[in-house]
Structure 1
C-alpha cells in the first residue's frame, strides 16, 4: 500500500513539473497579475474566490485541496441536491440515510458518518454555520459551493476528520434586479426559482430568493398505491446587508424550508434461508421472487401509509467590524431548527418485520436518522495583519448547543410484529478556542510562507433513552418515566501545520500536516444497555499539493494536484446487533486504518468559448486490525473520474448565444453499507448528463434551455440496509432514473 501511494505521489510530481516550468516561463515577472497567465488572446480561465481560511482568497493561492462549484456551474450542471454534487468532486461520496432522500451523509477521502449515534466526519456549513439540513431546497441562489478535503479541525466550527462543505448564499448588492426561472420535465416536474435584489440605500440592501419544486415519484408502491421517491418542497430566504458606518457591516439571513413527500423507496434484494425473518414470515421468500420479477421501480410494502415531512428554519447573523487596516472583528451567530416526521418500511415487504411509524411529535432520532433538533451556535473571531503584512493571525472562540426539538419525542417501530416505542434524545454542547498564524518569509526566500494553527475542543454529550415493547418498559436502569440517562465528556487538541512556496503568482506548492478529531457518542441501543458509549475517532494526515496556471502554446490551462497519506485511529465502525427481539445498528471503536490517495483537477480553454474540465481521484483504504484485514472500506470507490465540456457559440447580433454542455462521471466498485459484505456491492458505473442553453434569446433578457440527467438510465444504489447476517434480509434504495426537461429564465 505504501509503495503504491509513493508511486502515485511521484506521478503527481512528474505531471506537475512541466506545469511549473510552463508557469515560470510564461510569466516574466513575479508581480504580474496571475489572472492574465491563464489566458491566451480572449480565452481565459476565471479566478475563483474561496473562503477556506475564513477570508476571501484566490483558490489558486490557498494551500488546501479545494473543489469550488460556481453559481454558473450549479445551473449548468443542474445541481438540485447534494447527491448531484458528488458527481462533480473527486473523493466525495454522498449517501442517503435509510429511505429518506431528505437526509444525506457525506464521505470525503473514505471518511464519513457511521450513522448510529456518531457525529459526521464531513460537515456542511451555510454561511459559516454548521447545518444538518443540506438536502434539496438549500442549493439555490448560491454564490458557490466549496468542498474542502482533509481534516478541518482548526478554523471551522465543528471538528471533522474528512472535510467540510461550504454553502455560500448570494449576498445583496447595489444593483436593482432579479430573475425568475421556470422548469418542466418528465415525471411531472414543475420547478420555479426566483430572486430579487433591492438596494434600499447605499447602506441597506435586501435580497429575496425562493425555490419551489414538485415532481411525481419514480417508484410505485402496490401496497398503498403511493408514488414513492417524489419531490415536493418550497424554500425561501431573505438576506439583509447593513453598512451603517464605514468599517461596520451586518449581514442577516433568514431561511425556511418545507417538504411534504411520500417518502423514499426501499427494494428487497436478498434473504437468508433459515433466518429469523424466514422462520417468522415464511412468505418473505415469495416476496423476493415477486420483487425480482417486477424490477426496481415497483415495490409492495405493507399497508403503512408512507410520508416524509421535513421543516427547517435558520437564522444567521454575521457582524464584522474593521477596527483598522490591521485588525478586524467578526461575530457569527446561528440558529438552526430541523423537524422530521416520517414512516418507513425498511424490510421492503408486506410483512411487519421492521416498520418505522411516527407519533404526532417529531422524529427523535432513535433509529438511524438525525433527530429533530434545535441548535444555537456562536463564534467570535479576530483577524490581524502585523509586521507590515508579514504576519497574519486569526484567533477565536466557538460555542454550539444542540437539543431535541421536543423533550417528549417518541417513535414507534414494528419489529417482528412487536410494537416497540423508542426515544433517543440527544443533548450536545461543544466549546472551543482556536488560533492560526501565517508568517510570510518572502524577505528571506521569495514566495515562502509557514502556517501553524491549534484548537482545543471540549464536547459534552448527554442522552436520554427509552424503550417500550408491547406496552412493557424494557429500559435498563430506567427512571419512573422509563428513561435512562447517561453523559460523557470528550476533549482533544487538534492542529494544522503547513509550508507553502509560491515561486510565481501562477504556481503554488504546499506541504501540510494536520490532526483531526471526531467526538465519541452513544448508541441507539443504550436503553437496553447495549454498547452504550464509544470513544472519539482521530486522524493524522500529510498532504503534498501543487496548484498552477500556465499556457500550453496559446491554450490557458489550470492543473491542481494533491497527494495525501492519512492514518485513522480508534475508528468508529458500525455493526448489526440483535437483542430482545429487536434489531439495532451499534457503533464501536475498532482499531486503525490507512487511507492514501491522489486527486487531480484539470481545466483548459482551447479556444475562446470552449471550456474543458476533468478530475480523477484514487483512494487506497484499508484496516490494520487483523480481524478486519479483508473487510472493504464502505462507500469508498478506489477510482473516480469525470470529464465535462461546453462550447459557447455566438449566433449573431439579435439572435443570442447557444452553449451545449455535457458531463460524464464514473466511479469504480463500491461497498454501499456501513457493515459491508459481498451483497452490498455496487459495481462501477457512469452517469452522463447534458444541457443546452440559449442565452439572450432573440436579443431579449431571456434564456431557454433543455437538459437531461442520467441519459443512459444507469441503475445504482444510493443506500444499502444490511440486515442479512442478523434478521436475515438486505434491502437498498436506488438513484434517480433518466430525468429530462426544459425551462425558461428571465433576468431583469
Structure 2
C-alpha cells in the first residue's frame, strides 16, 4: 500500500477517535439498534463464522434488521444497493439475476461472482447461464430474516467462493420456543399486493418448527407501446415458501434444517431506447450500424411524439419470459463436544432453473423508405425488423444446475480465552441438470430452430459498378453448455491475545477450483446448421484455413447438436490469507490493521472462439479501521475504515473485431481476458447519533477512488483484426461512484402506550455519476447521479392491539435514470439501457399472534 494512502487512512481513523472522547458501538445501520440487547451495544453477527458482538469484529459491515428491511420495502437483494454504501447493483437482466459490486469489484458475462451471497451460511446456488447472474439468493429470500449483513472487502479466508469484493449474509429467523406468528398484507401502486405469513410452533422442549410463505405480485412499471407482447415489463410475480426445523437431540447436539422453494414468472426487464446519436450528435459509422440508425431515430421520434417518459418502452418479442425456480435444503448439525470445542457440519443441496426470452436492446425498428432491398426478401416498408433476440434454444432451460456443498468446522478456545481458533474443510460440487441452452438471432427471425426455419435479413453488396447482389447478413447461433464445478478448500484461523488489549489474528485458506465446460455451438445459415466451434477448424486439412469463402466445403453440417460437442476445462489453486492486529484500549473502542489476500476463480466460455478461458484474479487488501461508541447527552457510534486494494490479473471484457474472411463463420462476441492491473482505495463511514429522546440520525458514507493502471492486450487470434478492451488505462472501474452517502432520520412520537408506537423516518441516498461502460462502447456510458428520497410511517401496537400499520414510499421525487447502458451503438445504430424503479408506495397491515 503506498505510504501516502496509508497516511490518509491512518489520519482519518485517528481523527475519528479524537472526535469522541468516549467509546463506540460497531458498524451498522439504524437496524442495528433495533436488534440490540437492552444495553444497545450487543448486536450479534456471524461475519467470522461464529456469533460475536459486531463491535468486536474487525470488518467493515453494514447490518439491516427486519424492521429496516420492511421500512425500505426491500423485497430482493437487488434492492439493497440504495441503502448500503459501497454496494452497487447491476440489474441489467432484471432484479432476479442481479450481480453485486462492492468497492469496485464487478462481474462480467460468464464469470464467477465477486460478491458471495450466503443464505443460512451456504453460498447461493450456481447460476452460470447464458446471461450474467450474481448467483444471488433469489426472490423470496428476503422475508422472515433475523438480519442481513453486508461484509466489505475480501472474505476468502473464512468464506472462500469468490468473495474478493465482499459477502452478503442472509440470516433467516430460527425456530423459537414460543407459539407465535404473524400475517402481513401489503397493497400499493402498480396493482401491487403481497402476503406474508409465518407460524412458529414448539412441538416440544427439544423440537421446534417455523414455516412461512411470501407471495408478491405487481404490474410492471415499464409500459410497452409496441402492441407486441405484454403491456408491461419489469413486473413482479413470485411465490416463496420456507420450513425450518430445530431438533435438540441431546443437551449438546443440535440439528437445524432449512428447506426453501421459490418460483418467479415475469415478463422480464427490457431496455429503454434512448439515443441514436453519440454525445457529439453523430450517428454510428461502423459495421451495419449506419443501416439501422435511421430506423433507430424513427423509433425515438415515435417515442417523442407520444410524449413517452423514461419508463415507456417498445418491444418486438411476442413471448418474452423470465422464469426462475429454485429450491434448497440446508442442514446444520452443531455438537458442543466440550466446554472448549464445538464441531459443526453444514451440508446443502440446491437446484436452480431458468428460462428466458427477450429482445436484447429494446428496439422495435420499422423498415424505412429507402432501406436496402426493402420489400424484397426483407419485411415491407413499415414492417418490423428484429435486431438481436435471445430466447430458449434447442433444449428446455437456459440454465439448469444443481449444487451440493459440505463444510466441516472445528471451533475452540483455550480455558482462559486468550486463544480462539477455527479450522475446517469445504467441498462444493455443481452439475448440470440438462443443457443450458440459448438461441441468439442476429438480424434473423427463426420460427423453428429445430427445423432450421429462419428468415435472414438481406442487404445489397456491390459486385460490379452499378451491380448489387443480395447477401444474407442475418445469423443465428445456438449455444448449449453443460458446466460442472469442483471446488475444495482447507482453512484455519486463530486469534491470540498478546495482552488484554492487543490481539493478533492470522488465517489461511487453500482452494482448489476446477470448471469443466461441455459446449455445443452451432451457426445456422441458409445452407443448414454447422458446428461453429473447434470441430469446424479441425475438419480442414493441414495448411487450409477455414473462412467465409470455403466454410461450406469444410463445415460439419448437422441437424444434431451432439455432433458439435467440445469439452474445455480450467483449474486453479491458490492460497488466500489474513493477518490482523486489533487494539482495544476500552471495551467500546476497537482499532484494527489488516492485510488480506483475495482470489477469484477463472472460467470457461467455450463459445467465445479464440478466447475460451480466462484465468483467476488476485488482490492484496490493506485496511485500517476504528469502531467506537459514545454515551451521554448525545449517544451513538462512529465507525471508519480506510482501505487500499492492489488488483492484479484483472478479468477485462473485450469486443474483438471479426476479420472480413471470417464474417459469418465467427460470431460477434464479448469474451474476457486477463489484461488488467488496477488500484482501488477509499474510506467508509457508518455512524448513528441519538440526538434527543426518540430522535435518531444515521449516516453512512463511502469515498471510492478506482483507476486502471495497466492493460496488457494479447495478440489477436487469426479470426480477428484487433482486440478492443472495454477499459482504458486511467479509466475508473465501472459501477464505482466516488461518493455515496445514505442518511436516515427517524423520530418516535411521544405518545402513551395505549396509543402505540408511532415513528416517522426518511432516508436520502446520493451516489455520484459513474461509468458503467467504456466511452468506446456506448454514448450513454455515464450513469447519472442518484438522488433518492424514501419515506416511511410505522404505527406499532395500534391502540394497544396486536396490529401494526405502515405506509412506505420509495423514490419520492420519481427520479428516472438509466442504470446500465445497452452498448449497442456500433451494432444497431442506437443505444439505451435498463432504468431504475419509479415512485413506489403502499400500505402494510401486520397482525401478530401468540406468545
- For Structure 1 versus Structure 2, the TM-score category normalised by the shorter chain is over 0.9
Residue 546 (structure 1) aligned with residue 632 (structure 2): no
**Structure 1 CA distance for aligned equivalents of residues 608 and 63 of structure 2:** 45
**Structure 2 CA distance for aligned equivalents of residues 142 and 285 of structure 1:** 48
Residue 84 (structure 1) aligned with residue 79 (structure 2): yes
**Structure 2 CA distance for aligned equivalents of residues 427 and 681 of structure 1:** 37
Partner of 1:707: 808
Residues 132-162 of structure 1: CA distance to partner in whole angstroms, max 9, x if unpaired?
2434321110001001111111111414211
Deviates more, 1:722-731 or 1:690-699: 722-731
Equivalence map 1:106-505=2 (5 Å): 106-114=100-108, 116-131=109-124, 132-221=135-224, 222=226, 223-271=228-276, 272-281=283-292, 282-293=294-305, 294-350=308-364, 351-359=385-393, 361-364=395-398, 371-386=399-414, 388-406=416-434, 408-417=435-444, 418-442=475-499, 446-470=500-524, 471-478=528-535, 481-505=563-587
1:4 CA displacement: 7.2
Q: Is the 8 A contact 1:547 1:561 kept in 2?
A: yes
Q: Is the 8 A contact 2:709 2:730 kept in 1?
A: no
The structure-2 alpha-carbon separation of the partners of 1:3 and 1:723, relative to structure 1 and needing over 3 Å to count, comes to farther
Provide structure 2 residue ranges, at least 5 long, that are not aligned to the other structure: 26-32, 125-134, 277-282, 365-384, 445-474, 536-560, 713-727
Task: Give the secondary structure class of the aligned counterpart of 2:75.
Answer: coil
Residues 59-97 of structure 1: CA distance to partner in whole angstroms, max 9, x if unpaired?
11101111111122112222112232112212111111x
Q: Is the 8 A contact 1:631 1:676 kept in 2?
A: no
Residue 564 (structure 1) aligned with residue 638 (structure 2): no
Q: Is the 8 A contact 2:627 2:640 kept in 1?
A: yes
Give the aligned CA root-mean-square deviation in angstroms.
Answer: 2.3
Task: Give the secondary structure class of the aligned counterpart of 1:481.
Answer: helix
The structure-2 alpha-carbon separation of the partners of 1:4 and 1:747, relative to structure 1 and needing over 3 Å to count, comes to farther
Q: Is the 8 A contact 1:559 1:603 kept in 2?
A: yes
1:362 CA displacement: 4.5
**Structure 2 CA distance for aligned equivalents of residues 653 and 20 of structure 1:** 35
Deviates more, 1:686-695 or 1:156-165: 156-165
1:7 CA displacement: 6.3
Q: Is the 8 A contact 1:386 1:392 kept in 2?
A: yes
The structure-2 alpha-carbon separation of the partners of 1:209 and 1:480, relative to structure 1 and needing over 3 Å to count, comes to closer
Q: Is the 8 A contact 1:276 1:728 kept in 2?
A: no
**Structure 1 CA distance for aligned equivalents of residues 74 and 217 of structure 2:** 15
**Structure 2 CA distance for aligned equivalents of residues 149 and 261 of structure 1:** 32
| Equivalent residue pairs, number | 719
The structure-2 alpha-carbon separation of the partners of 1:464 and 1:283, relative to structure 1 and needing over 3 Å to count, comes to same
1:604 CA displacement: 1.4
Equivalence map 1:67-106=2 (5 Å): 67-96=62-91, 98-106=92-100
Task: Give the secondary structure class of the aligned counterpart of 1:583.
Answer: coil
Residue 731 (structure 1) aligned with residue 832 (structure 2): yes
Partner of 1:573: 652
Partner of 2:16: 16
Partner of 1:555: 634
Deviates more, 1:555-564 or 1:528-537: 528-537
1:447 CA displacement: 1.2
1:58 CA displacement: 0.7
Q: Is the 8 A contact 2:270 2:361 kept in 1?
A: no
1:672 CA displacement: 2.0
**Structure 2 CA distance for aligned equivalents of residues 62 and 384 of structure 1:** 17
Q: Is the 8 A contact 1:101 1:263 kept in 2?
A: no
Q: Is the 8 A contact 2:705 2:732 kept in 1?
A: no
The structure-2 alpha-carbon separation of the partners of 1:409 and 1:76, relative to structure 1 and needing over 3 Å to count, comes to closer
The structure-2 alpha-carbon separation of the partners of 1:731 and 1:403, relative to structure 1 and needing over 3 Å to count, comes to farther
Residue 625 (structure 1) aligned with residue 710 (structure 2): yes
Task: Give the secondary structure class of the aligned counterpart of 2:607.
Answer: helix
Q: Is the 8 A contact 1:464 1:484 kept in 2?
A: yes
1:182 CA displacement: 0.5
**Structure 2 CA distance for aligned equivalents of residues 257 and 225 of structure 1:** 23
1:425 CA displacement: 2.3
Q: Is the 8 A contact 2:102 2:165 kept in 1?
A: yes
1:723 CA displacement: 2.9
Task: Give the secondary structure class of the aligned counterpart of 1:60.
Answer: helix
Q: Is the 8 A contact 1:672 1:717 kept in 2?
A: no
**Structure 1 CA distance for aligned equivalents of residues 739 and 646 of structure 2:** 20
Partner of 1:62: 57
Residues 579-633 of structure 1: CA distance to partner in whole angstroms, max 9, x if unpaired?
4453322111113110000000010112232221011100010011168223231
Partner of 1:35: none
**Structure 1 CA distance for aligned equivalents of residues 6 and 704 of structure 2:** 13
1:670 CA displacement: 1.3
Q: Is the 8 A contact 1:578 1:727 kept in 2?
A: no
1:46 CA displacement: 4.7
Task: Give the secondary structure class of the aligned counterpart of 1:13.
Answer: helix
Q: Is the 8 A contact 2:17 2:628 kept in 1?
A: no
The structure-2 alpha-carbon separation of the partners of 1:242 and 1:687, relative to structure 1 and needing over 3 Å to count, comes to same
Task: Give the secondary structure class of the aligned counterpart of 1:156.
Answer: coil
The structure-2 alpha-carbon separation of the partners of 1:225 and 1:70, relative to structure 1 and needing over 3 Å to count, comes to closer
**Structure 2 CA distance for aligned equivalents of residues 567 and 515 of structure 1:** 10
Equivalence map 1:557-706=2 (5 Å): 557-577=636-656, 579=658, 580-581=663-664, 582-625=667-710, 628-673=728-773, 679-706=780-807
The structure-2 alpha-carbon separation of the partners of 1:360 and 1:229, relative to structure 1 and needing over 3 Å to count, comes to farther
**Structure 2 CA distance for aligned equivalents of residues 574 and 270 of structure 1:** 24
1:682 CA displacement: 1.3
Deviates more, 1:527-536 or 1:174-183: 527-536
**Structure 2 CA distance for aligned equivalents of residues 232 and 578 of structure 1:** 40
Task: Give the secondary structure class of the aligned counterpart of 2:792.
Answer: strand
Deviates more, 1:296-305 or 1:209-218: 296-305
**Structure 2 CA distance for aligned equivalents of residues 242 and 316 of structure 1:** 14
Partner of 1:34: none
Task: Give the secondary structure class of the aligned counterpart of 1:659.
Answer: strand
Task: Give the secondary structure class of the aligned counterpart of 2:100.
Answer: strand
**Structure 2 CA distance for aligned equivalents of residues 692 and 727 of structure 1:** 47
Residues 699-725 of structure 1: CA distance to partner in whole angstroms, max 9, x if unpaired?
100011111000000112233221334
Higher strand share: 1
Task: Give the secondary structure class of the aligned counterpart of 2:780.
Answer: helix
